Amino acid sequence: MQYQADVTIELKSGMLDPEGTTIKRALEHLGYETDNVKTAKKYIIDLQADNIHDAREHVEEMCQKLIANPIIHNYAITLRELQ
């Protein structure tokens, strides 16, 4: 079966986010008031697996081995079956 995984990677609380800080300052210079700006990355991964449980395991492995640094990142996975 074919699945699509949406993986969102964010910095853990307390980690410096220079990109978010820069965007916040730029928005304020444009006249927009913001309390905070956090950056995140989203990856969309299409994969084959026997079932959704196996698909989730594969994507978890991908995140732990390559996509996210578990020391500084949190990640969330959303899976859906493709027709």
Are 24 and 37 contacting, i.e. CB atoms less than 8 angstroms apart?
yes
CB-based burial label for 63 (10 Å; 0-12, 13-18, 19+):
buried
CATH of 2-81, one of 2.40.30.10, 1.10.760.10, 2.60.120.590, 3.30.1280.10: 3.30.1280.10
Bridge partner list, 54: none
Kindly report the number of other CB atoms within 10 A of residue 60's CB atom.
14
| Beta strands in 1-83, from DSSP E residues, in sequence order | 2-11, 40-48, 73-81
pLDDT tens, position by position, 16-70: 999 999 999 999 999 999 999 999 999 999 999 999 999 999 999 999 999 999 9
CB-based burial label for 11 (10 Å; 0-12, 13-18, 19+):
middle
